[in-house]
């Protein structure tokens, strides 16, 4: 055989790392942090091994644990002490996220991103103001335009508390524009928006809903989160967010939607984020507990695939474990 091209020449130990096309580093990763106003001690999250809800008083200690691994950015999610029909604790100046963010920004060097949504704060668990027939005969479930002002209020309250970036996740039409206008009017022109630009109605969110106590009390979120079958629609969603001033574009979930991550990467020069969601995390843990997979290896390979698809940033529950081993 006369083979002039032998790809295996570049797979020996010495040269293999030199020609590696993709790497994952700790600075690529964002670690979720759950702060719970209803508890005075850490509460393990059963469906997400290794993660827990922490009281506001423990939020700084929890973030310091993240920083020790080399991860520099966190996303704060809150579990409020009370809920109501409109989710008013989401924008309260003394709310759980606001209180935690003030502590974290005062006492650490973490880059603090906050989740801007209403599902954890509403009695019904949906991501906005309900239409009158939402439970019995829904049309669009959530009143889009009435919800936009509330999202603006939340983003402003987070920025006032010291958040470095806000991340709206409700998939409301016009949410990026409404939040940008609210932030600018309040003097927060330098606070960027990382939009959940293509967020799909996914079966991979189950453990998170346990963690953040944000499952809908009835129905589902098909009227505002995207149909998993649609990729061209994702392009339209992302384009609208770009037009409205989004600074970072997120795709959620990550692994089942790597084609969308790649499409967004090729279509826009914005930073692209992907959310390696709770179900992706939990299923790998479950398989590892059975002895079917090596958890450390598959966790790293999963994040590597997300980076290879085109993500610049990865929000992942594996952040600390992977960063600690890099």
Kindly list the catalytic residues: 199, 252
Round to whole Å and give the CA distance between 231 and 257.
9
Round to whole Å and give the CA distance between 50 and 253.
20
DSSP summary character for residue 57: G
Round to whole Å and give the CA distance between 272 and 238.
11
* 188 phi, psi to nearest 5 deg: -105, 55
Query: CA dist 159 to 91, 97, 186, 189, Å?
Result: 11, 11, 9, 10
CB 217 within 8 A of CB 124: yes
E strand intervals along the chain = 29-36, 43-44, 52-54, 73-79, 111-116, 165-168, 194-199, 248-252, 272-276, 313-316
């Amino acid at each position: 055989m006369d083979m002039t091209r032998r790809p295996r020449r570049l797979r020996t130990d010495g040269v293999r790392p030199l020609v590696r096309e993709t790497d994952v580093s700790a600075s690529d990763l964002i670690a979720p942090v759950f702060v719970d106003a209803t508890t005075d001690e850490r509460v393990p999250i059963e469906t997400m091994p290794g993660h827990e809800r922490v009281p506001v008083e423990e939020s700084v200690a929890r973030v310091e644990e993240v920083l020790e691994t080399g991860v520099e950015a966190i996303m704060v999610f809150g579990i409020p002490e009370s809920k109501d029909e409109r989710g008013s604790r989401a924008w309260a100046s003394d709310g759980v996220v606001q209180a935690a963010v003030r502590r974290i920004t005062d006492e650490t060097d973490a880059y603090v991103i906050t989740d801007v949504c209403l599902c954890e704060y509403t009695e019904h668990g949906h991501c906005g103001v309900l239409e009158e027939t939402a439970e019995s005969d829904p049309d669009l479930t959530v009143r889009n335009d009435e919800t936009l002002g509330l999202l603006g209020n939340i983003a402003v309250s987070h920025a006032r508390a010291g958040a470095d970036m806000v991340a709206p996740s409700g998939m409301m039409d016009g949410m990026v524009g409404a939040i940008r206008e609210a932030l600018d009017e309040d003097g927060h022109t330098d606070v960027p928006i990382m939009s959940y630009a293509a967020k799909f109605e996914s079966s991979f969110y189950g453990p998170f809903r346990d963690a953040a106590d944000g499952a809908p009390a009835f129905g589902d979120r098909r009227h505002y989160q995207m149909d998993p079958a649609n990729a061209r629609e994702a392009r339209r969603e992302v384009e609208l967010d770009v037009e409205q001033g989004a600074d970072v574009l997120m795709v959620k979930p990550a692994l089942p939607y790597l084609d969308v991550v790649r499409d967004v990467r090729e279509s826009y020069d914005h930073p692209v984020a992907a959310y390696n969601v709770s179900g992706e995390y939990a299923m790998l843990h479950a398989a590892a507990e059975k002895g079917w997979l090596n958890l450390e290896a598959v966790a790293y390979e999963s994040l590597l695939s997300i980076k290879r698809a085109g993500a610049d940033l990865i929000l992942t529950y594996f952040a600390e474990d992977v960063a600690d081993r890099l």
